[in-house]
C-alpha cells in the first residue's frame, strides 16, 4: 500500500520524506488555506520536496472551469495529479483532462455508485472519505471493501485512495481491505511507528550500556 501525507505543511512533508516513506501528498483547499502562503510559492516547494505524486485540487464547480484550472495545475510539475470533485461536472472534466494525459483523483467519494462511475470514466484515483462517513454513523471501511470488490470484478485500474483516515486502525483496516493508497494526516503517520515497548526497551538498553561503561 502506498502512503501519502494529507497535508500542505512543508515541515511535515520534509520529515516524512527524510524517512523515505513518502509516496505522495494529497492537498485540498482547506489544507492549502491553513498554510497562509501564496499558492504558487507553497506548491512549488511541495513539488520540490515530494518525490512522488502531488495532488492539487481545482476550486471551479463547472467542467469548463475545472478543465481550465486542471491544465494550469498540471503545468506546475510533472508529478501533479489533478483533484476533481465527484460530481457530474467533475466526471466531464476528468474525461477531457484524461484524454490529454493528465492524471486525476476524484475526491469526496461517499458511495459505491460514485466510485463505479469514476472508474468507468477512467480516473487514476478515487478518494473515498472514510472518517467523514464514520462521523455520520456509517461504517466508512465498508465503502472501501465494496469498491475493492467492484473494481476487482471488472478489472478497473482506478486506484483506491483511502482518505479522511483518522487513526492507525483506519490504516490497518484500509490495508486489509485492499486500498491501493492511504493518505494520512501527519499525526497519524507519526503514530504508526510509535510503540511504548520500543521506547521502554531502548531506554533500558542504553542504561545498561552506560552502567557497564562500554564504548563502541
Q: To 10 degrees, what angle do helices 88-99 and 63-76 make?
A: 40
Residue 138 is a binding residue for ligand E4P (CB under 6 A): no
Number of Cβ within 10 Å of residue 188's Cβ equals: 19
Among 65, 98, 122, 131, binds ligand E4P (CB under 6 A): 131
83 given a catalytic annotation: yes
At residue 188, φ and ψ (nearest 5 deg) are -70, -40
Give residues with Cβ within 8 angstroms of 32, minimum separation 6: 8, 39, 42, 43
CB atoms within 10 A of CB 112: 16
Binding region for ligand E4P (CB under 6 A) out of 42-50, 59-67, 129-137, 193-201: 129-137
Q: Which is nearer to ligand E4P, 33 or 206 (CB)?
A: 33
Given the complex with ligand E4P, which of 131 and 168 has the nearer CB atom?
131
102 binds ligand E4P (CB under 6 A): no
- Can you tell me the distance from the alpha carbon of 127 to that of 183, in angstroms, rounded to the nearest whole number? 9
Positions 173 through 202 that interact with ligand E4P (CB under 6 A): 183
**Does the protein bind ligand E4P through residue 28 (CB under 6 A)?**
yes
Region from 91-99, 112-120, 126-134, 145-153 binding ligand E4P, contact rule CB under 6 A: 126-134
Q: Name the one range near ligand E4P by CB under 6 A: 35-43, 125-133, 136-144, 149-157.
A: 125-133
What would the grid cell of residue 178 be? 485492499
Chain residues 60-89 in contact with ligand E4P, contact rule CB under 6 A: none
Least distance (Å) from ligand E4P to the CB of residue 179?
A: 12
Q: Which of 2, 36, 75, 83 is catalytic?
A: 83
To the nearest whole angstrom, how small is the minimum distance from the Cβ of residue 134 to ligand E4P? Answer: 10
Question: Active-site residues: which are they?
Answer: 83
The binding site for ligand E4P (CB under 6 A) comprises: 6, 26, 28, 107, 127, 129, 131-132, 163-164, 183
Amino acid at each position: 500500500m502506498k502512503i501519502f501525507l494529507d497535508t500542505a505543511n512543508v515541515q511535515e512533508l520534509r520529515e516524512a520524506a527524510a524517512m523515505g516513506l513518502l509516496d505522495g501528498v494529497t492537498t485540498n483547499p482547506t489544507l492549502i488555506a491553513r498554510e497562509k502562503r501564496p499558492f504558487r510559492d507553497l506548491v512549488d516547494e511541495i513539488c520540490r520536496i515530494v518525490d512522488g505524486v502531488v495532488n492539487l485540487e481545482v476550486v471551479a464547480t463547472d467542467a469548463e472551469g475545472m478543465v481550465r484550472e486542471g491544465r494550469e495545475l498540471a503545468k506546475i510539475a510533472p508529478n501533479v495529479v489533478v483533484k476533481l470533485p465527484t460530481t457530474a461536472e467533475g466526471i466531464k472534466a476528468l474525461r477531457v483532462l484524461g484524454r490529454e494525459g493528465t492524471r486525476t483523483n476524484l475526491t469526496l467519494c461517499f458511495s459505491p455508485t460514485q466510485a463505479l462511475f469514476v472508474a468507468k470514466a477512467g480516473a487514476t484515483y478515487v478518494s473515498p472519505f472514510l472518517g467523514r462517513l464514520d462521523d455520520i454513523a456509517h461504517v466508512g471501511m465498508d465503502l472501501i471493501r465494496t469498491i475493492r470488490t467492484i473494481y476487482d470484478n471488472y478489472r478497473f485500474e482506478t486506484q483506491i485512495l483511502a482518505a479522511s483516515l483518522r487513526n492507525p486502525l483506519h490504516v490497518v483496516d484500509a490495508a486489509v481491505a485492499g486500498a491501493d493508497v492511504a493518505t494520512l494526516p501527519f499525526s497519524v503517520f507519526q503514530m504508526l511507528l510509535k510503540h511504548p515497548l520500543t521506547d521502554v526497551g531502548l531506554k533500558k538498553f542504553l542504561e545498561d550500556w552506560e552502567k557497564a561503561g562500554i564504548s563502541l
